[in-house]
Amino acid sequence: MFKKIGHYWQKRRERFYRHSRWHLVLDISLILIILMFLVSLTALYAYRPNFIAEIINGNLDKVTVDLNNPPVDLGFSLNNTNFKIDQPVVLKIVYKNNGSSSASQLKTNLTLTDNNFSLDHLSVPDGSPFSVNGHTLVLADLPSAASAEVLLSVYFSARDQGARTLNWQAQSEYLYGGQKLASTQGLASLNLAAQLNVSAIVYYNSPQGDQLGAGPLPPVVGLPTNYWIFWEAKSNADFKNFVMSAKLPVGVELTGSRTLLSGELKYSSSTRQLIWQVPNIKGQADIDRAGFEVQLIPLKNQVGKVLPLLQSLKYYALDSLAGLDSSGTLPELNTNLDFDRFNKGQGAVTE
């Protein structure tokens, strides 16, 4: 090896160095530069061992990220964990960039973890920096030390009519320092508000044609006509403390005949108020029903009028699972017998 170097030196000396010293100066300068570069590279490698690997892999633009402490915090909150199937659930999402670099392409996808419900669609307020793509919430960019929040309206539909609890999660991802970071976070379970169906119906003849009432139809001045009134309550889930009330108009009285499948029926003669109480209504069970007979004796000044039989109908119950109140009012019942297919419209008093 040394002989080869010697021959090479001798050759360049005979060819260049004897004629001009500048060739020698140039070669020596180049050798020094190369040596300095090698020394610098060695020192740099010793200071940062991963630097060479990053050059080779093209990762100089990436930022080191602590996966146990990601730069972007995501917060999810609900004002209410109870919901109605025809109304949106409002989910508040807060993004906060605690890192030193900007985060981009922030996406949050909502998914359900069971098959009892399905996710219909999402919507954001007008003017929001967020957008919606299918079931995914999108934010284009979040600068360092910045935060952004949105009130996301989420709409669901029920697949299983008997299901009451909805379980879901949020899958999020974003780009930070050239790297894609992703996370999955479970969201608070939602309770579907139960549906309570309450009705009040008056009959003279039942839907099967059986005569329940007595007396003339249409009602006649001075003569008693008896009608049967039925209250019903049914639900797709359990309720408790069900109460239904109404008032008898002047001129209408209870006969004392009644039928009661559940609960307790009370009447106060001083207030003319009827109250039906059922401690528990079982979802998907048989219909809870109370029936009672009333008697009307029309007066002469009521000729040609359709008279009320029951007024101020109200009901109240408490959803056993969600703890929500369910209440409402029903239209008054009158002698026109709107639910009686055989006698409907025969309500005006005659002489």
Whole-angstrom Cα distance, residue 184 to residue 149?
Answer: 18
How does DSSP assign 27-64, residue by residue? HHHHHHHHHHHHHHHHHHHHH-THHHHHHHHT-TT---
If DSSP codes are grouped into helix, strand and coil, which group holds residue 91? strand
Please state which of the four CATH numbers 3.40.630.10, 3.40.50.20, 2.70.98.40, 2.60.40.10 is assigned to the domain occupying 72-192: 2.60.40.10
Check: CB of residue 157 under 8 Å from CB of residue 85: yes
In CATH terms, the superfamily for domain 196-334 is: Mu homology domain, subdomain B (2.60.40.1170)
The encoded tokens of residue 136 equal 């995914």
CB 200 within 8 A of CB 313: yes
Q: How far apart are CA 193 and CA 322, in angstroms?
A: 6
Instruction: Please tell me the least confidently modeled range out of 26-30, 62-66, 152-156.
Output: 62-66
- Return the pLDDT at 210: 95
Tell me how far apart the alpha carbons of residues 153 and 175 are, in angstroms, rounded to a whole number.
Answer: 25
pLDDT in tens, 278-311: 999 988 777 899 999 999 999 999 999 999 999 9
CB-based contact 340:315 (threshold 8 Å)? no
Work out the mean pLDDT of the chain and round it to a whole number: 89
Does residue 65 carry a pLDDT above 80? no
For residues 34 and 30, which has the higher predicted lDDT (pLDDT)?
34
CB of 233 closer than 8 Å to CB of 241:
no
DSSP summary character for residue 288: E
pLDDT at 51 over 60: no
Per-residue pLDDT reduced to its tens digit, 313-326: 999 999 988 888 89
Mean pLDDT in residue range 267-283: 94
Section 216-237 average pLDDT: 95
* pLDDT of 53 above 60: no
pTM (2 d.p.): 0.67
Contact 281, 318 (CB under 8 A): no
| Structure confidence by residue, pLDDT tens digits, 144-197 | 999 999 999 999 999 987 888 999 999 999 999 889 999 999 999 999 988 899
Whether the predicted pLDDT of 102 surpasses 70? yes
Token digits of residue 170:
């949020």
Contact (CB, 8 A) for 72 and 97? yes
Q: In this structure, are residues 321 and 282 in contact, taking their beta carbons and an 8 Å threshold?
A: no
Question: Does residue 56 surpass a pLDDT of 60?
Answer: no
- From CA 181, how far away is CA 170, in angstroms rounded? 14
Domain boundaries, the chain: 2-57, 72-192, 196-334
> Residue 121's pLDDT band (boundaries 50, 70, 90)?
very high
With a CB cutoff of 8 Å and minimum separation 6, the contacts of 310 are: 200, 202, 229, 246, 247, 248, 249, 252, 274, 294, 332, 333
Residue holding tokens 């005569």?
211
Using the predicted structure, report yes or no on whether residue 335 has a pLDDT greater than 90: yes
Please tell me which residue, 31 or 234, carries the higher pLDDT value.
234
pLDDT class of 125 with cuts at 50, 70, 90: very high
- Specify the pLDDT at position 9: 57
Name, of 26-30, 234-238, 290-294, the range with top average pLDDT. 290-294
Q: Is the pLDDT of residue 266 over 80?
A: yes
